Amino acid sequence: MAGRLLADTTPLQTPDFRRLWLAGIVTVIGANLTIFAVPVQLYALTQNSAYVGLSGLFALVPLIVFGLWGGAWADAMDRRKLLIIASCGLAAASVLLWLQAALALNNVWVVLCLLSVQQAFFAINSPTRSAAIPRMLPGDQLPAANSLNMTVMQFGAIAGPLLAGVMLRWVDLSTLYLIDALTCLAPIWATIRLAPMPPLNEVAAGLGLAAVRSVIDGFRYLAGSPVVLMSFVVDLIAMIFGMPRALFPQMAHESFGGPVEGGTTIALLSAAISAGAVVGGLFSGWLPHVRRQGLAVVVAILVWGVAMVGFGIAAGFAHGHAGLLLWIALLFLAIGGAADMVSAAFRSTILQQVASDDLRGRLQGVFTVVVAGGPRLADAVHGAAAAAVGTTVAAVGGGGLVVIGVTIAALAVPAFARYRVNGAR
């Protein structure tokens, strides 16, 4: 029974996957130091959630462009080489973020532009990495591998903010950016050690029309695959309406009485969703046994929406005092995080199992745009909503819209909820 509950670690027996996974433990902590530092720096400079939300748009544009383009490149060239290039680019962007903070430029637009550069390389790295995994592992190990990857990502999203909240008592934001730059060395080492992954079939993708045509081919495939398409749609609904992270700096200060410049309260809020995801990942041994993966995604997103409603209500009643209501709010965020982990693991598995290898890079590019771009768009939406109607209404209303939107989507395309996978054990 315990074996069915605890995480399946079988994929770690494969050396290439194990190296990538272990390197990820280090690098996601560093990356989340930057994810924490950017909104804190923007809010400290402006004391306005609208600017924090604006960071979502500056991240979204390169995510869309280079997520789609990077996915096309991942189908057309050696994925190992592309991973090395993207990892080096991420390291360079982190160094530049460190320099602007260390030199005390205190310029909002410099921070936003450097964030865009970093997200461009992330948008290339993520679909390439995801498309490489099915080349390393058999199909029946993909749910477990995706769960392990999600657990590491969410562990970093816990450790990063908590570490940042503690470190800011003794160091400034520039140190957080510097640590992120240093941790980028781990994935560079891991990708260099990978076996070559040349394309199995001829796929044309360059810097011009060939790449555009390649991306269009990927969208044509999506148009004819309602199950894969709906896996993207329901996640967009969940993230755009339900991800409240742009509200955290203002809520930490106004609802829970934390300092403007950051600290423990915002660190706890930033880490709570990921804490729930890690707990969900540790007890994810049941995932490979689920056959109706589409229905599981719908249920998980409904839980996410309800949890965000609960979070907003708890924050609304806090009135500048932390106390018990802070912990209730954190609990709702954690429940949402566990639900999001289940949704992400199944959505990634559906994509990897349905798509052929010569399309995986492009579809993973779309997946990256949705998974990473949705929260960035949510930052802009929630930031603007908070400025207009307040953080409580923005959080509660967003969670309610998730429940309504996903219910309508599931009823409109019943094939998604009925989707079954033959490989489930």
Listed residues 174, 205, 236: the one ending a domain: 205
Identify whether residues 297 and 397 lie together within a single domain: yes
**What gap in Å lies between CA 396 and CA 380, rounded to an integer?**
16
**What gap in Å lies between CA 304 and CA 265, rounded to an integer?**
22
Domain containing residue 330: CATH number = 1.20.1250.20
- pLDDT averaged per 10 residues, the chain (length 425): 64 89 86 85 80 80 80 80 91 93 90 92 84 81 79 77 80 89 89 84 54 66 78 90 88 79 77 84 70 87 96 84 84 94 83 69 70 78 87 93 95 88 51
The confidence score (pLDDT) of residue 330 equals: 94
Identify whether residues 201 and 218 lie together within a single domain: no
How many structural domains comprise the chain? 2
Identify whether residues 174 and 260 lie together within a single domain: no
* Pair 273, 280: CB distance under 8 Å: no
Listed residues 186, 205, 224: the one ending a domain: 205
E strand or H helix that includes residue 274: helix 264-282
Sorted by sequence, the CB contacts under 8 Å of residue 39 that are 6+ apart come out as 52, 55, 245, 246, 248, 249
Identify whether residues 258 and 407 lie together within a single domain: yes
The structure tokens listed for 268 are 């706890």
The confidence score (pLDDT) of residue 214 equals: 62
**What gap in Å lies between CA 9 and CA 210, rounded to an integer?**
40
Identify whether residues 196 and 333 lie together within a single domain: no
The structure tokens listed for 248 are 């955290």
The structure tokens listed for 348 are 């990634």
Identify whether residues 117 and 231 lie together within a single domain: no
Identify whether residues 273 and 372 lie together within a single domain: yes
Residue type, 107: N
Choose among 280, 275, 376, 269: nearest CA to 314. 269
The confidence score (pLDDT) of residue 217 equals: 67
Sorted by sequence, the CB contacts under 8 Å of residue 386 that are 6+ apart come out as 49, 50, 53, 246, 247, 250, 394
Task: Give 111-172 as a DSSP string.
Answer: HHHHHHHHHHHHHHHHHHHHHHHHHHS-GGGHHHHHHHHHHHHHHHHHHHHHHHHHHTTTS-
Identify whether residues 191 and 219 lie together within a single domain: no
Choose among 132, 191, 154: nearest CA to 35. 154
* Pair 303, 339: CB distance under 8 Å: yes
Identify whether residues 171 and 95 lie together within a single domain: yes
The confidence score (pLDDT) of residue 425 equals: 40
Identify whether residues 37 and 109 lie together within a single domain: yes
Choose among 303, 306, 375: nearest CA to 339. 303
Identify whether residues 272 and 351 lie together within a single domain: yes
Range of the domain at 91: 1-205
The confidence score (pLDDT) of residue 215 equals: 64
Identify whether residues 199 and 251 lie together within a single domain: no
Report pTM. 0.69
Under DSSP, the state recorded for 375 is H
Under DSSP, the state recorded for 201 is S
* Pair 197, 132: CB distance under 8 Å: yes
Cβ atoms within 10 A of the Cβ of 407, count?
15
3 state SS for 294-349: HHHHHHHHHHHHHHHHHHHHHHHHHCCCCHHHHHHHHHHHHHHHHHHHHHHHHHHH
Listed residues 153, 184, 205: the one ending a domain: 205
**What gap in Å lies between CA 345 and CA 144, rounded to an integer?**
8
Give Cα 220 to chain centroid, integer Å.
25
Give ∠ CA 368-164-46 in degrees, rounded to 5: 80
